[in-house]
Structure 1
Amino acid sequence: MQLLPEPIRRLAAWCVVILLVSGVAWVGIRLCVEFRTAVTPVLLALLGTALLGPLYRRLVRAGVQRSVAAGLTCVAVVAVVGGAVYIVVAALIDTGNEIIASLRQAGKSLAQHFGAAGTSLDDLAANSKGLLAKFGGTAAANVISGVSVVAESIAMAVLALLLVFFFLRDSHRAVETLRSVAPRGTAGLLEAMARRAFGAIEGFMRGTTVIALIDALCITLGLLVLQVPGAPGLGALVFVAAYIPYLGAFLSGAVAVLVALADRGFVIALWVLGVVVAVQLLEGHVLQPMIQSRTVQMHPAVVMVTITAGASVAGIVGLLLAVPLTAAAFGVVHELRSRYAPE
C-alpha cells in the first residue's frame, strides 16, 4: 500500500467505507422487509408519537395523568381519522351510482367520437361472461389475497395505535433507557443523535400537518363554491391523504373530480380539477419551500428520489415512511458533523 500515491490510498479507504456502510444498510433493509409486520407498526407509531407529542404534553402540563392523557390523545386520533373516513365513504356511497353512470356516458361519448369499435362499456358488458370464465380463478385468488392484505393492514394499524399509547405514556423514560443500554462513553452522543433524529421527524410531521390543513381548507372552499356535495368529507380526505407524498394528493383529487362529475357534470368536474391542480402547484412552489425548508432541510430532488426508493422497497408504506426516516438520517449526520467536523 505504501507504493500507492496518497490520493489513491484515500480513495481506496473511502471505497471500503462506502461498501461496508452500503452492505450494512442493505442487510438492515432486507431484515426490515422480512419482518415488516413488526417493523412497520413501530415506525408508524414513531411518526404518530412525533405528531401527537405536543397535544400529549399540553394535556400533561394541564394536570392530566400520563396514562389518561395518552389514552385521550389516541382516542382523539381515532375519532378524527374514523370520522373523516366515514364522511368520505358515505359521500362515495351516496354518489356511487351517479359516478358509474357518468363514467359509462363518458365512455360512450369517447367511443362515438373516436369511432373505436368494440371498446365501449356495452361491448365489455356483453363479453363479461367470457372474460369471467377465463379469468375467474385468477380474480378469486386476487380477492382472497386482497382480503388477507386488508386483515394484515388492520392488525398493523391496531398494533401501531397501541404502540403510540405506550410511546406517549413512557416518553419521559426514553432518555434514561437509551443511556442505560449505551456503551460506555457514548451515552451523550447517542442521546444527542436520538434527539436530533426525533426532532427532524417532529419537524416533518409538523410541516406536513400545516401543509395538509392549508390544502384541505383551500380545496374545501373551492368545492363549496362549486356546490359539490360532500365537500367537508372530501376536504377531510385531502387532509388525511396529504401524509402520503404525491400519491395521496392524486387519489384525493381524483375522488373529488369523480364526485363532481357524478353530481354536477363535466364542466364542474373540470373546474374541480383546476382547483386541485392550482392547490397542488401552490403547495409545491410556495408551501413546501416555505414550511418544509424550515423543518426538514432536504432538497426536493432528494425527497423525490427517497420517495421512489421507499415505494420500490415497501409500496405505500414506503411512500409514507421514506421522507421522515431520511430526515432522521440527515439529522444524525448533521449532529455527527457538528461534533467531529474540523472547524
Structure 2
Amino acid sequence: MPTPLLPEPVRRLAAWCVVVLLVTAVLALVVWLCTVFRTVVTPVLLAVLGTALLGPMHRRLVAMKVNRSLAAALTCLTVAAVVGGAGYIVVLALIETGDQIIDSLRKAGEDLAKHFGALGTSVEDVAKNSKDLLAKFGGTAASGVVTGLSVVATMLATALLAMVLIFFFLRDSDRAVGTLRSMVPSRSGDLMEAMGRRAYEAVEGFMRGTTFVALVDAVLIGAGLLILRVPGAVGLAALVFVTAYIPYLGAFLSGAVAVLVALADRGWVIGLWALGVVLAVQMIEGYILQPMVQSRTVQMHPAVVMLSITAGASVAGILGMLLAVPLTAAFFGVVSELRSRYAAEA
C-alpha cells in the first residue's frame, strides 16, 4: 500500500478548508442573488417575519373553527389596523418632536464641545446634518418631486406585496411541510422538515420576543422621560421602540439620544437622571427580558449578533440591519438541529 504524500492531520485540514470554501461560495452566491433580486426578496423576507409574528393569532382563530382563509384575512386586517395606527402615531410623534430633538442634540453638542472638544463637535455636526437632511426630505415631499414619490411608491408597493404574501403564508401554512417534502428526495424529507421547523421556531421566537421587549422599553423609558419633563418624550419613546429591533446597537443609539436631549434642555442633573432611567431599563432588559426571549429561541453570542448586524448593514443598509438577526437566528437553528441529529447518530 503506497504511503500518502500528506499526513492525516494535514489531509483533514485540507478537507475542512474545501468545505469552508464551498459553503462560503454558496453563501456569497445567495447574498448576490438576494441583492440582485431585492425587489422580490425583500417582500418575501418581510412576509416571513410577519407570518412568524402573526402565526399564534391565526392558529388561535383556526382552533376556534374559523375558516383558514377568513382567519388569515382577519389576522391581516387586524394587524394592518394596529400596525397602521401605531405607525401613524410613531411617525407623527417623530415629525412633531423631530426638530425639537435635533435642536436639543445640537445644543448638547455645543455644551459638550466646551468641555470635551472633538466629541461635542462631532455631536453638533451630526445634529446639524440631520436637520439639513430632514429639511431636504420635507422640501422634496412637499414639492412632489418624482424621486421622492417613487421612493414612497416603492415602499407602499413592498408593504402591500408583503401583506398579500402574509395572507397566503398564513392560509397555506398547513401545506408547508408537504411542499417542503416534495422539493427534496424522500430520504431527506425528515431532516429538511426538522430543519425548517427549527429555523421557523427561531424566527418566530425572535419576532415575538423582540416586539415584547421593544414595547416594554418604549413604555418604561417614555414614562421616565415624561416624569422628568424631557421635551420630545413621546418621540424619543417611539424612537426607542423602532430601534429596539436592532439588538444592542439600537438600544445604545436611542438611549444616547434621550440622554443628550435631557442634558441639553434640562441640565446636568436631569441628564444624569435620564441616564439612570435608560440604564435601569437596559438592566431590566438584559437580566430579565432578554433571558426570557432567548430561552424561546436560539442562543446567540452578542459578538455574533453585532457581526451579523454589521454584515446586514453593509449589504442592505437599514433593512439589512433589521433582517440580519432573525436570519442569523434561523441559520443557527438549522445548525443546532444538524448538530443534535449527527450527535445522536454518532
TM-score (norm 1): 0.79
- Residue aligning to 1:297: 299
The DSSP-based 3-state class of the residue aligned with 1:243 is coil
Is 1:157 aligned to 2:159, yes or no?
yes
Counterpart AA for 1:20: L
Task: Quote the Cα distance in structure 2 between the aligned partners of 1:280 and 1:218.
Answer: 10
The one of 1, 5, 17 equivalent to 2:7 is 5
Name the counterpart of 2:243: 241
Q: 1:146 to 1:246 in 2, by over 3 A?
A: farther
Classify 1:96/1:15 alpha carbon distance in 2 versus 1 (closer, same or farther; 3 Å).
Answer: closer
SS in 1 for 2:327: helix
Q: Shift in Å at residue 169 of structure 1?
A: 1.1
Q: Which amino acid aligns with 1:33?
A: T
Q: What residue identity is the alignment partner of 2:274?
A: V
> Are 1:64 and 2:66 matched, yes or no?
yes
Counterparts of 1:277-316 in structure 2, within 5 Å, are: 277-316=279-318
1:210 positional shift: 2.8
Q: 1:115/1:260 Cα in 2 relative to 1: closer, same or farther (>3 Å)?
A: closer
- Give structure 2 stretches of 5+ with no counterpart: 122-131
Residue correspondence of structure 1 range 209-248 to structure 2 within 5 A: 209-228=211-230, 234-248=236-250
1:275 to partner: Cα distance: 2.2
Q: Report the counterpart of residue 79 of structure 2 in structure 1.
A: 77
Aligned mates of 2:230, 2:78 — CA distance in 1: 28
Give deviations 1:127-150, integer Å, cap 9, x for gaps: xxxx9xxxx9xx98xx86565444
More displaced 10-residue stretch of structure 1: 271-280 or 65-74: 271-280
**Deviations 1:210-269 (CA, angstroms, capped at 9, x unpaired):** 322321232133133224577566545533432233454356446756876898677645
SS state at 2:65 partner: coil
CA 1:162–1:263 in 2, change beyond 3 Å: closer, same or farther?
farther
Q: Deviations over 1:31-58 (max 9, x none)?
A: 1111111111111111111111111111
Which residue number corresponds to residue 124 of structure 1? none
Gaps of 5+ in 1: 120-130
The alpha-carbon distance between structure 1 residues 258 and 37, as it changes in their structure 2 partners (threshold 3 A), is farther
Q: In the alignment, does 2:214 pair up with 1:195? A: no
Instruction: Tell whether the 8 Å contact from 1:88 to 1:234 is kept in structure 2 after alignment.
Output: no
SS in structure 1 opposite 2:339?
helix
Q: 1:259 to 1:92 in 2, by over 3 A?
A: farther
Q: How does 1:124-135 map to 2 (within 5 A)?
A: none
Give the whole-Å Cα distance in 1 for the aligned partners of 2:12 and 2:160: 50
CA distance in 2, matches of 1:114, 1:43: 44
The 1:163–1:265 alpha-carbon spacing in structure 2 relative to 1, beyond 3 Å, is farther
2:172 maps to which residue?
Answer: 170
Residue 186 of structure 2: SS of its match in structure 1?
coil
CA 1:64–1:268: 2 relative to 1, 3 Å: farther
CA contact (8 A) 1:87 1:233 kept: no
- Tell me, yes or no, if structure 1 residue 204 matches structure 2 residue 229: no
Please give the alpha-carbon distance, in whole angstroms, between the structure 1 residues aligned to 2:112 and 2:329. Answer: 46
Structure 1 245/106 Cα, relative in aligned 2: closer, same or farther at 3 Å? closer
Tell whether the 8 Å contact from 2:243 to 2:254 is kept in structure 1 after alignment. Answer: yes
Name 1:127's counterpart in structure 2: none
Aligned partner of residue 297 in structure 1, secondary structure: coil
Cα pair 1:253 1:276 within 8 Å, conserved? yes
* Fraction of identical pairs, as percent: 70
Q: How far did 1:170 drift?
A: 1.0
Distance of 1:17 and 1:112 partners within structure 2: 56
Q: 1:36 to 1:213 in 2, by over 3 A?
A: same
Q: Following the alignment from structure 2 to structure 1, what is the Cα–Cα distance between the partners of residues 116 and 249?
A: 31
Opposite residue 245 of structure 2, the aligned amino acid is Y
Structure showing greater relative contact order (alpha-carbon pairs closer than 8 Å, 6 or more residues apart) = 1
Q: What SS is found at the alignment partner of 1:186?
A: helix
- Whole-Å separation in 2 of the counterparts to 1:329 and 1:109: 46
- Give the whole-Å Cα distance in 2 for the aligned partners of 1:263 and 1:75: 41
Name the residue aligned to 1:128: none
Which moved further from structure 2: 83-92 or 197-206? 83-92
Distance 1:111 1:25, change over 3 A: closer
Q: Tell me the equivalent position of 2:91.
A: 89
Count of residue pairs the alignment pairs up: 322
Alpha-carbon distance change, 67 to 89 in structure 1, aligned in 2, over 3 angstroms? same
Task: Give, in whole Å, the separation in 2 of the partners of 1:181 and 1:97.
Answer: 53
Partner of 1:53 in structure 2? 55
Structure 2 matches for 1:235-274, cutoff 5 A? 235-249=237-251, 252-253=254-255, 268=270, 271-274=273-276
Letter in 2 for 1:198: Y
Kindly report the root-mean-square deviation, in angstroms, between the aligned alpha carbons of the 2 structures. 3.5
